[in-house]
Structure 1
Amino acid sequence: MTSRRRRTRTSLTSVLVALALAVGGYALHTAGIIAPDAEAAPASTAVPTGTDAPTIETEPGAPGTTRASRTDAPSAPSATDADAATAATARAELAALPVKGKAPATGYDRVGDFGTAWLDVDRNGCDTRNDVLARDLSAITRQGPCRVLTGTLVSPYTGATIGFVRGERTSTLVQIDHVVALENAWRTGAQQLSQRERESLANDPANLFAVDQHSNAQKRSGDAATWLPADKSFRCTYIEHQVAVKTKYRLWVAPAEHDAMARILRTC
């Protein structure tokens, strides 16, 4: 009899303990402290990747820290996209330029109308020729902060490589070309500009390229209808600069010049 009572009390105690554990577990689950096994992800489970999921990467130099980067983030515009945008801008600007015949060149005076070559219109302490040589040549050496003594030019007009050495007989092998020739500018609206505006046009970096002597001598004051760079791959850039300069300084284009520009820009 005594043994039976003990077994009954033991069974009752076990039931009460199990019931207490069950009630406590339910309370913890309801409070969100314990998650069901089906919803808990092991710490070692990798984060799935895909078009909508961030990729977790360890931040360089910061052990234990992470950063999220979207795998579908847009990429930076390509060079082709930038070239297409530039060409589209040039076509729109060309369409807005006045088209009419050239004015007579009577009275044209390079120094009197556009200033001495080369001025320091940006007041950086260096004249424009040395600024352009420093910009367009590679492996340059200088005397002082401005004077370019040597360097290497790949002429944008031909693609030829030219070694530049400053000297009486060698400096002229590399020349600075006005993309919109100054006489052409004079005959297409620059007569109406102020002296300061004409000097700015003559020294504007957007209107200047360091080039080979032969191309500069061949071009002279020609416009797009009479002269284009021998290197066809540079013609889009060349015409885009001409259009930008004519737009900036409120110049016009002659009919044949306009048509030549439009023909090149259609290929860009």
Structure 2
Amino acid sequence: MVLALAGCEGVDLPVDSAPSGSAPAAGSGRATSPLDNPDGTKPGLAPLTSDADRAEARTLIEKVATKGRGPKTGYDRDKFGYAWMDTADGVPWARNGCDTRNDLLQRDGEDVRFRSGSDCVVMSMTLHDPYTGRTIDWTKSKATAVQIDHVMPLSYDWQMGAARWTKAKRQDIANDPLNLIPVDGPSNGSKGDSGPASWLPPNKQIRCSYAVRFAQVSLKYELPVTAADKETMLRQCGG
């Protein structure tokens, strides 16, 4: 089934063989602090509530560079590779025999059930959605109820410098678990390609964590954010 997403697009791809590399463990949907999850391979997005964690978050966000958002001229989703590829070699779980979307559903879902004969294609699961705070009982027959959000949207990446990257690097950021979170579909649709100054998760408890994740992607890929976005990110963590 093809998913048409405002900020992200996904296709469940056929899998011909069992995963050959390291894969996320199904049923591990407990949320993890982004400060304890620098590569994005652990599940969820837990709130940052302590003064120490929020101070650490602000220190991280302060490292993010700023510049104006460039034109969207020339942007096309296909320039970041097809969704969801298993061959973006610069990110975790590449070439494990399972496409990126299903890797993410396994990472964040609980009570994960697979298609008969497959240990990749997720048919149902329970998701504790960080963006809304809701628990979603998801089935593949209603696939768009859960969408995979690119925390730093791909068109935003393009405008902030990815237009000058190699296609291989663009494929990495499009499939990097650090930049990807399964979330409530309508919430993801409302985000589009917005930065934090224009859109934040409805669940206020998670906004500092969201800002940290946005900063982590920015720093890993050396992509600046707008000054307004950085100011908003700092404010979510008490800055």
Instruction: Provide TM-score, normalisation by structure 2.
Output: 0.73
The aligned residue for residue 145 of structure 2 is: 173
Aligned pairs for 1:17-96 within 5 A? 87-96=54-63
The aligned residue for residue 119 of structure 2 is: 145
Distance 2:165 2:51 in 1: 32
Q: Is the 8 A contact 2:47 2:208 kept in 1?
A: no
Q: 2:84 aligned to 118, 123, 127, which one? A: 118
Aligned pairs for 1:233-248 within 5 A? 233-248=205-220
Structure 1, unaligned runs of 5 or more: 1-78
Distance 1:89 1:117 in 2: 34
Root-mean-square deviation (CA, aligned residues, Å) is: 2.1
Q: Is the 8 A contact 1:148 1:166 kept in 2?
A: yes
Q: Is the 8 A contact 1:236 1:265 kept in 2?
A: yes
Question: Deviation at 1:192?
Answer: 2.5
SS of aligned partner of 1:196 = helix
Higher RCO structure (Cα 8 Å, ≥6 apart): 2
Q: Is the 8 A contact 1:90 1:243 kept in 2?
A: no
Question: Deviation at 1:81?
Answer: 9.8
The aligned residue for residue 234 of structure 2 is: 262
**Structure 1 position 195 matched with structure 2 position 167:** yes
Larger radius of gyration: 1
SS of aligned partner of 2:230 = helix
Q: Is the 8 A contact 2:48 2:54 kept in 1?
A: no
Change (3 A) 1:126 1:85: farther
Q: 2:202 aligned to 206, 230, 254, which one? A: 230
Which residue identity does 1:256 align to in structure 2?
Answer: A
Distance 2:76 2:50 in 1: 36
Distance 1:158 1:165 in 2: 18
Show CA shifts across 1:187-212 (max 9, x none).
11212222111111011111111101
The aligned residue for residue 11 of structure 2 is: none
Q: 1:210 aligned to 158, 182, 191, which one? A: 182
The aligned residue for residue 103 of structure 2 is: 131
Q: Is the 8 A contact 2:161 2:223 kept in 1?
A: yes
Q: Is the 8 A contact 1:90 1:244 kept in 2?
A: no
Which residue identity does 1:148 align to in structure 2?
Answer: V
Q: Is the 8 A contact 1:207 1:245 kept in 2?
A: yes
Structure 2, unaligned runs of 5 or more: 1-45, 89-93
Which residue identity does 1:100 align to in structure 2?
Answer: K
Number of equivalenced pairs: 186
Change (3 A) 1:203 1:87: farther
Change (3 A) 1:257 1:165: same
Higher helix share: 1
Change (3 A) 1:198 1:173: same
Question: Deviation at 1:103?
Answer: 0.6
Percent of pairs identical after alignment?
42
